[in-house]
Amino acid sequence: MSHRLLAVVGVLLVVVGILAMSSFFIVDQTEQALVLQLGEVRRVIRTPGLQIKLPFVQNVIDYDKRVLDFEPPHEEVIVADQKRLVADTYTRYRIANPLLFYQTVGTEEGVRGRLSALVSGSLRRVLGSVTLNDILSEKRAAIMRQIRDEVADEAKGFGIEVVDVRLRRADLPEENSQAIYARMQSERQQQAAKYRGEGAEAAQTVRATAERERTVILANAQRKAQEIRGDGDAQAIKIYAQAFGQDKEFFAFYRSLQAYRDALNGRDTSFVLTPEGPFFRFLNGWQGRVGTPPAAGTPAAPAPAPAAPPAGGARQP
């Protein structure tokens, strides 16, 4: 009897253990759960802890309560200025209504496909109404908020709350990048050539102005110099005239010496002059007043002969 009793008790314990394992379950603090009975939702559990359900009849589906990330594939869109862009986005969302989520999409894999379509449609609509410069400017934040709001409104029907949609990267297609870079380089080169031409023109204008001012300054300086030289020469002639006017004989002698110096300077120039001419009047022993020189062609007066000695051979002192 005792052996049978022990066997029965053992069987009962096993059955109770199996029933307990099928009846009790734990909801983690990062999760929320749905209790289903024959495919129909009976309870929605949002609080963590130990929970109970009917064994073998009810089953539990767990959903994450945390913010989830989703990265859809790259999208090639055309913006308002007809430029093609490759847009790379990511979406962050959480399951706000697990019952509606289960009824519409069921699983996270199912909602990812729906989100991809929502993000793609909103991305094309919003980016199609803005230009590339808007995307690359401070308007980028407003564009991303608009995309997020559109996706969030449409995603409420799936029981999810869209937290954020970000445009992580917006690049030109590879086949268009090189052509655009070449055009940008050509535009920069044209702008540089324009600036160089304007600089050369400005430099030429500055040089022409400086040359004109230089010519005017030199002309004024030369005119002033000529005036000063003229005034100096006039003053010198006046001084010479006053000086030589005081002694005309000395003036004639001085001018003759200047003529001798210029004519007899030892150069190769040859002169044919007669010694009796007036040119050499100061070299022919001419006597008398310098102010009354002998007439042209008149020989100079002979020098006086020395006095004869006195009689008796005595020398006169």
Residue 161 has a pLDDT of: 92
The share of the chain scoring above pLDDT 90, in percent, equals 22
**CA–CA distance, 223 with 48 (Å, rounded to integer):** 109
Lowest mean pLDDT among 58-72, 90-104, 164-178: 164-178
User: Which of the given ranges, 166-170, 226-230, 277-281, 285-289, has the highest pLDDT on average?
Assistant: 226-230
Lowest mean pLDDT among 14-23, 140-149, 308-317: 308-317
Q: How far is CA 259 from CA 237, 246, 250, 253, in A?
A: 18, 21, 14, 10
Residue 240 has a pLDDT of: 77
Residue 221 has a pLDDT of: 93
Domain ranges within the chain, ordered by starting residue: 22-65, 68-177, 247-299
202 has pLDDT over 80 = yes
Over the stretch 254-312, which tens digit does the pLDDT of each residue have? Answer: 777 777 777 777 666 666 766 666 666 666 654 444 444 444 444 444 434 343 333 33
52 has pLDDT over 90 = no
Is residue 246 classed as helix, strand or coil in its secondary structure? coil
**CA–CA distance, 66 with 100 (Å, rounded to integer):** 17
Average pLDDT value for residue range 128-135? 85
* Radius of gyration, alpha carbons of the chain: 63
pLDDT band, residue 249 (cuts 50/70/90): confident
**CA–CA distance, 125 with 91 (Å, rounded to integer):** 17
Range 68-177 classified under CATH 3.30.479.30: yes
pLDDT band, residue 211 (cuts 50/70/90): very high
Biggest CA–CA distance in the chain, Å, is: 216
Average pLDDT, the chain: 79
pLDDT band, residue 47 (cuts 50/70/90): confident
User: Full-prediction pTM beyond 0.95?
Assistant: no
229 has pLDDT over 60 = yes
Residue 203 has a pLDDT of: 93
Average pLDDT value for residue range 195-209? 92
Name which of 2, 160, 133, 137 is nearest 70 in CA terms: 160
Higher pLDDT, 203 or 177: 203
Name which of 61, 161, 168 is nearest 115 in CA terms: 161
Residue 98 burial (CB count, 10 A): 23
Determine contact, residues 16/6, Cβ cutoff 8 Å: no
Residue 268 has a pLDDT of: 65
Lowest mean pLDDT among 12-16, 23-27, 224-228, 268-272: 268-272
Higher pLDDT, 30 or 285: 30
228 has pLDDT over 90 = yes
Which residues make beta-bridge pairs with 41? 36
Residue 282 has a pLDDT of: 66
